[in-house]
């Protein structure tokens, strides 16, 4: 293949004058907000997803994510500025291709790059000179240059000359009212200096602050460090919660008081376990990669063990509370408040509530859930048997209620009026109520 002499200059010109067509691969919690941001900035956007239901809803002006309004996408679709399709051959029509696909763990807690590899393999026949390709999915250091770059090179395209390969980790925080795609600083690393230049040019058009780093490996490591930091600190407060509870000390009161220190302290909060697509998963990407270098990441693995054990602790606390009311966990009717992994969103990925539900049912309990954001359970990888189970009313006849997710809607609940013990895993309810138990 002849070198594309003017590939970079032509690409930068398109990006600058906003005629570059932006292709977003994966229209989920990361890809959809990013598509909206590029549309808002004036770019034509092509959305690619394997889910026909998603693409059909978007083209009809509907949203499948509660905190994201589809209005702007519907308007852009009507004007021909946005198209959502399952036909990946259209990737050749894009000047920028941004991969926002899942990177889960397999059953052995090893990285599962199948979504990334499959997406790359699908678009390979349609890549051409003058495109920038960016991976945003969280992964271990080396993925971009070890897995994606060789596949691109087999097509005859040379990264840094014909095509421009970068890694820029997503930093979405679903439902956070204080930070949005535009205002969250964006880290970017390139396979070559010219790749980095193209990546920076792309993201600077839509993100207020773009942070360049020396390589794709560094950018990949940044994302892992951020989430490992959270995982380790959450594990610490989860461990302290158990210890303090034995001492008759309320961990949430301790955190509130400690937070008054204006330096040297940052509050983290315990809960029923970790959820979401990042913190329960990302640390294990690094532990897996570190073994390749004969490095034992014991601190990270210990944090993972503590956080993974929290649903078991909640179930034991549930048994204790029921026992105080002369009831057995076997045959008990239990309602779980909150299926989403965090408050005020419909994101139930890796939610610890699923594990708590599973463990309670293994012990013979009859378990329902209530969640205003998840009226019906959607397909999940690990708990497919719960598909179609519907949210129940809080006023049902239950032996125990467990608060798993601190949705704002639950603030209207008067625990004493329910006349049923409530196990509060989030420190959500005031301890002035008679039937509140911390867990």
Write down the residue that tokens 């407060």 correspond to.
237
Nearest one of 256, 275, 276 to 267, comparing CA atoms? 256
pLDDT in tens, 90-106: 999 999 999 999 998 88
| Residue of higher predicted confidence among 3 and 122 | 122
105, 112 Cβ separation under 8 angstroms:
yes
Beta strands, E only, 91-213:
96-99, 132-135, 164-167, 186-190, 210-212
pLDDT in tens, 104-116: 888 788 899 999 9
Pairing of strands 422-424, 436-438: parallel
Which strands sit side by side in the sheet containing 333-337, from one edge to the other?
A: 366-370, 333-337, 400-403, 422-424, 436-438
User: What is the overall mean pLDDT for the chain?
Assistant: 94
Write down the residue that tokens 């303090």 correspond to.
244
The answer on pLDDT for 6 being more than 80 is: no
Write down the residue that tokens 């780093």 correspond to.
213
Rounded to an integer, the average pLDDT of 41-62 is 94
Range 412-417, long-range pairs (CB < 8 A, 24+ positions): none
* Of the listed ranges 47-61, 63-77, 176-190, 409-423, the one predicted with least confidence: 63-77
Which of 188, 195, 278, 404 is an active site residue?
278
**Cα 428 to Cα 36, 79, 253, 323, distances in angstroms:** 33, 45, 12, 23
Rounded to an integer, the average pLDDT of 315-328 is 97
pLDDT of residue 328: 97
pLDDT of residue 280: 82
Residues of the chain with pLDDT > 70: what percent? 99
pLDDT of residue 373: 95
The answer on pLDDT for 164 being more than 80 is: yes
Structure-token pair, residue 413: 């609940």
Write down the residue that tokens 């395209």 correspond to.
157
Running DSSP on this structure, what letter comes out for residue 98? E
212, 188 Cβ separation under 8 angstroms:
yes
In angstroms, the first-to-last Cα distance of the chain is: 63
The answer on pLDDT for 21 being more than 80 is: yes
The answer on pLDDT for 52 being more than 50 is: yes
The answer on pLDDT for 224 being more than 50 is: yes
Running DSSP on this structure, what letter comes out for residue 147? I
| Residue of higher predicted confidence among 80 and 158 | 158
Q: Where would I find the H helices in 295-389? A: 298-324, 352-362
Rounded to an integer, the average pLDDT of 427-437 is 91
pLDDT of residue 20: 97
271, 241 Cβ separation under 8 angstroms:
no
Q: How far apart are CA 346 and CA 338, in angstroms?
A: 10
pLDDT of residue 126: 97
The answer on pLDDT for 169 being more than 70 is: yes
pTM for the full model? Answer: 0.91
Nearest one of 112, 101, 167 to 285, comparing CA atoms? 112
Nearest one of 221, 217, 219, 347 to 277, comparing CA atoms? 347
Q: How far apart are CA 213 and CA 198, in angstroms?
A: 13
Nearest one of 350, 346, 335 to 273, comparing CA atoms? 350
pLDDT of residue 2: 44
- Binned at pLDDT 50, 70 and 90, residue 278 comes out as confident
Rounded to an integer, the average pLDDT of 164-190 is 91
Domains of the chain, first to last: 7-214 (3.40.50.720), 229-438 (3.40.50.720)
List of residues 6+ apart from 230 with CB closer than 8 A: 268, 279
Could you confirm whether 188 is annotated as catalytic? no
pLDDT of residue 175: 77
pLDDT of residue 68: 84
Q: How far is CA 52 from the centre of its chain?
A: 21
365, 375 Cβ separation under 8 angstroms:
no
């Amino acid at each position: 293949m002849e070198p594309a002499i003017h590939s970079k200059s032509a690409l930068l010109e398109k990006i600058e004058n906003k005629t570059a067509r932006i292709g977003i691969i994966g229209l989920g919690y990361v890809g959809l907000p990013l598509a909206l941001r590029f549309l808002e900035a004036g770019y034509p956007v092509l959305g690619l997803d394997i889910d026909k239901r998603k693409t059909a809803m978007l083209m009809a002006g509907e949203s499948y994510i509660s905190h994201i309004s589809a209005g702007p996408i519907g308007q852009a679709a009507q004007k021909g500025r946005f198209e959502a399709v399952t036909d990946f051959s259209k990737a050749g029509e894009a000047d920028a291709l941004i991969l926002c696909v899942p990177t889960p763990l397999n059953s052995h807690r090893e990285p599962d790059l199948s979504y990334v590899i499959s997406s790359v393999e699908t678009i390979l026949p349609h890549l051409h000179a003058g495109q920038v390709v960016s991976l945003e999915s969280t992964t271990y250091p080396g993925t971009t240059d070890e897995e994606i770059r060789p596949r691109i090179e087999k097509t005859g395209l040379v990264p840094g000359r014909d095509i421009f390969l970068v890694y820029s980790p997503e930093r979405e925080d679903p439902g956070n009212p204080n930070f949005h795609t535009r205002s969250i600083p964006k880290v970017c690393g390139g396979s070559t200096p010219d790749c980095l230049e193209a990546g920076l040019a792309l993201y600077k058009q839509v993100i207020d602050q773009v942070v360049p780093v020396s390589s794709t490996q560094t950018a990949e490591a940044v994302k892992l460090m951020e989430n490992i930091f959270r995982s380790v600190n959450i594990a610490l407060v989860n461990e302290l919660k158990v210890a303090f509870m034995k001492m008759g000390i309320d961990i949430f009161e301790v955190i509130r008081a400690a937070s008054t220190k204006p330096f040297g302290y940052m509050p983290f909060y315990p809960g029923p376990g970790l959820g979401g697509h990042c913190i329960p998963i990302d640390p294990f990407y690094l532990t897996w990669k570190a073994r390749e270098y004969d490095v034992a990441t014991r601190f990270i693995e210990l944090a993972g063990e503590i956080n993974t054990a929290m649903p078991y602790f909640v179930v034991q606390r549930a048994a204790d509370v029921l026992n105080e009311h002369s009831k057995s966990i076997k045959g008990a009717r239990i309602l779980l408040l909150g299926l989403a992994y965090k408050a005020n969103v419909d994101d139930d990925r890796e939610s610890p509530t699923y594990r708590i539900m599973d463990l309670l049912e293994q012990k013979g309990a009859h378990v329902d859930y209530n969640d205003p954001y998840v009226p019906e359970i959607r397909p999940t990888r690990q708990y497919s048997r719960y598909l179609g189970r519907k949210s129940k009313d809080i006023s049902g006849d239950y032996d125990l209620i467990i608060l798993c997710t601190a949705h704002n809607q639950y603030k209207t609940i008067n625990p004493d009026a329910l006349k049923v013990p409530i196990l509060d895993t989030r420190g959500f309810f005031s301890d002035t109520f008679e039937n509140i138990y911390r867990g």
